[in-house]
């Protein structure tokens, strides 16, 4: 019987590669974690610390360092990290040199509620607890806090944050009642009665026109209330 040496060589080569791969995979799984690296992504990185993440892992998962890779379930570790109220998303993976890397995106507060309960409103419109590590410089929300009014506040804050001038100058929102919101500006003494969250683009367009003219006339300090509640007009009350 004639032997096909090319086929035999190819089969032996394939078996060798599979064997080496299996051995390498086995050794990789048996290798212990040498180090843990925690990376915070984005600009919002002050509400969770590396130490607090390590403590969270130990409390909920046990010691990670010096454990074999095969004994670690990455999805479970991600779930443990994401159980922290300050964490928006976590991605965990192994490196070839035996390191466990966790990339963490923290939640972003856009407003701070000051009522019987104190908490942040994040950029997804959800309640976010205050952090013991950092206090965010965001507009303060006061007044009648309900689920419905916070939905409206979220709409207002999104509009404010999309505009450079408003983002830098609006420091507070007071909820006088449902459907009636007042804005406080950083350098001005007057209160802006916004009314509801309808027609925000038109209301702020009218306000910016008023603000530019009043700044030019040096008359901003004369006003106590600037109302945007009425259709296509700005009604001012002097001090």
Per-residue confidence band for 12, with pLDDT thresholds at 50, 70 and 90? low
Q: Among 14-28, 154-168, 206-220, which is the least confidently predicted range?
A: 14-28
Q: Decide if 194 contacts 181 (C-beta within 8 A).
A: yes
Around Cβ 80, how many Cβ atoms within 10 Å? Answer: 20
pLDDT value for 22: 47
Rounded to whole angstroms, how far apart are CA atoms 112 and 121? 6
The two beta strands, 99-106 and 35-41, are: parallel
Global model pTM greater than 0.85: no
Rounded to whole angstroms, how far apart are CA atoms 167 and 158? 9
Instruction: For residue range 70-100, list pLDDT tens digits in order.
Output: 778 888 889 999 999 999 999 998 887 778 8
Residue 139 phi, psi dihedral angles, 5° rounding: -55, 140
Rounded to whole angstroms, how far apart are CA atoms 81 and 78? 5
| DSSP-assigned beta bridge partners for residue 122 | 109
Structure tokens belonging to residue 205:
């367009």
Mean pLDDT, the chain, integer: 85
Higher pLDDT, 169 or 45: 169
Residue 205 phi, psi dihedral angles, 5° rounding: -65, -45
CATH 3.30.70.100 fits 30-106, yes or no: no
Instruction: For residue range 124-143, list pLDDT tens digits in order.
Output: 999 999 998 899 999 999 99
Instruction: For residue range 139-158, list pLDDT tens digits in order.
Output: 999 999 999 999 999 999 99
Domain ranges of the chain: 30-106, 109-238
Q: What is the mean pLDDT of residues 15-38?
A: 57
Q: Buried (b) or exposed (e) across 198-228, using 16+ Cβ within 10 A?
A: eebeebbebbeebbeebeeeeebeebeebbb
3-state SS, residue 57 = helix
Structure tokens belonging to residue 224:
């106590």
The domain 109-238 is placed in CATH, from the list 3.40.50.11690, 3.40.720.10, 1.10.260.40, 3.40.50.150, at 3.40.50.11690
Give yes or no for residue 196 having a pLDDT over 80: yes
Give yes or no for residue 218 having a pLDDT over 50: yes
Q: What is the mean pLDDT of residues 46-54?
A: 89
pLDDT value for 217: 87
Give yes or no for residue 23 having a pLDDT over 50: no
Burial of 108 (C-beta count, 10 Å sphere; 0-12/13-18/19+): middle
Instruction: For residue range 107-127, list pLDDT tens digits in order.
Output: 999 999 999 899 999 999 999
Q: What is the mean pLDDT of residues 226-236?
A: 86
pLDDT value for 32: 66
């Amino acid at each position: 019987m004639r032997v096909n040496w090319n086929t035999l060589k190819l089969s032996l080569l394939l078996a060798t590669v599979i064997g080496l791969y299996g051995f390498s995979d086995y050794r990789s799984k048996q290798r212990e974690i040498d180090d843990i690296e925690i990376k915070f992504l984005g600009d919002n990185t002050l509400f969770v610390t590396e130490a607090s993440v390590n403590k969270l892992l130990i409390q909920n998962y046990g010691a990670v360092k010096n454990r074999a890779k095969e004994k670690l379930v990455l999805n479970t570790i991600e779930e443990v990290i994401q159980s922290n109220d300050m964490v928006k998303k976590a991605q965990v993976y192994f490196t070839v040199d035996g390191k466990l890397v966790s990339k963490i995106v923290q939640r972003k507060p856009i407003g701070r509620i000051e009522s019987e309960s104190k908490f942040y409103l994040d950029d997804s419109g959800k309640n976010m607890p205050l952090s013991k590590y950092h206090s965010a410089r965001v507009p303060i929300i006061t007044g009648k806090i309900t689920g419905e009014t916070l939905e409206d506040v979220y709409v207002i804050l999104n509009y404010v944050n999309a505009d450079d001038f408003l983002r830098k100058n609006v420091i507070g929102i007071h909820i006088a009642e449902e459907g009636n919101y007042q804005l406080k500006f950083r350098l001005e003494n007057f209160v802006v009665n916004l009314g509801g969250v309808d027609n925000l683009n038109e209301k702020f367009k009218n306000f910016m026109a008023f603000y530019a003219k009043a700044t030019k006339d040096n008359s901003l300090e004369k006003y106590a209330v600037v109302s945007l509640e009425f259709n296509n007009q700005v009604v001012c009350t002097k001090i």
